[in-house]
Amino acid sequence: VAPTVSGLAVTVFGGTGYVGSAVCERLIKKGHTVTAVSRRGQNPKPDNAELSQVNWVVGDATDPKTVDSALRSADAAVHAIGLLFDVDSGLTGLNKIVSGSGSLPGEDSTYDNITRKTAFNVINAIEKKQNFLSKNLSKKKFPFAFVSAAEAGWPEVAFGETVDGLAPEWLNKYLIAKRVVEAKLNVSK
């Protein structure tokens, strides 16, 4: 059994969504202090004991300054910002049903903006913070989790290219955005 680390200050981007709120709950149960950044900045389940302990912050992760600020006192971060149907999919109304937060995308809510841009902003902010820490205080790595779909690995599995070829255009855009972030993470410091 791996030892657990408790008492970290963790910033969760997209904490009001289905996955993000579950991540926040789990982190609180493990003894961490959690700040959740989202467009609404409100607890999605006010009667939930764990989520009531989260610091809910309004913020737009497409803005690098917002991300830098949110990570200033963090020890770790999670990117759980999700968008199932972007504005180009023609299916945005379904987000109200399938979204954990019940949100509808704004007019700039493309997979590229919501997935790639927000994740790159978090990665870049962490790299800046990591560079500062390694030069001045510590060589310790900054833990970061990016929530991604298993399907993003389709090209590497049997018949993956066939599945990619059969997927609708909107799903391919979703997967491309996830894969670009995963590629950046693979070369990130």
pLDDT tens digits for range 47-67: 999 999 999 999 999 999 999
Higher per-residue confidence, 153 vs 30: 30
Q: What is the pLDDT of residue 16?
A: 92
Q: Is the pLDDT of residue 4 over 80?
A: no
Task: Tally the residues of the chain.
Answer: 189
Percent of the chain with pLDDT over 70: 88
Residue among 118, 19, 10, 6 at smallest CA distance from 54: 10
Q: Is the pLDDT of residue 98 over 50?
A: yes
Instruction: Quote the Cα angle for 47-148-123, to 5°.
Output: 95
d(CA 50, CA 48): 6
| Mean predicted lDDT score pLDDT of the chain | 86
d(CA 13, CA 60): 9
Q: Is the pLDDT of residue 104 over 50?
A: yes
Q: What is the DSSP letter of 21?
A: H
Task: Indicate the pLDDT class of residue 1, thresholds 50, 70 and 90.
Answer: very low
pLDDT tens digits for range 114-170: 999 999 999 999 998 877 655 555 567 789 999 986 565 566 777 777 777 788 888
Q: What is the pLDDT of residue 185?
A: 85
Tokens of 116: 């790639």
Instruction: Kindly state the average pLDDT of the residues 21-38.
Output: 96
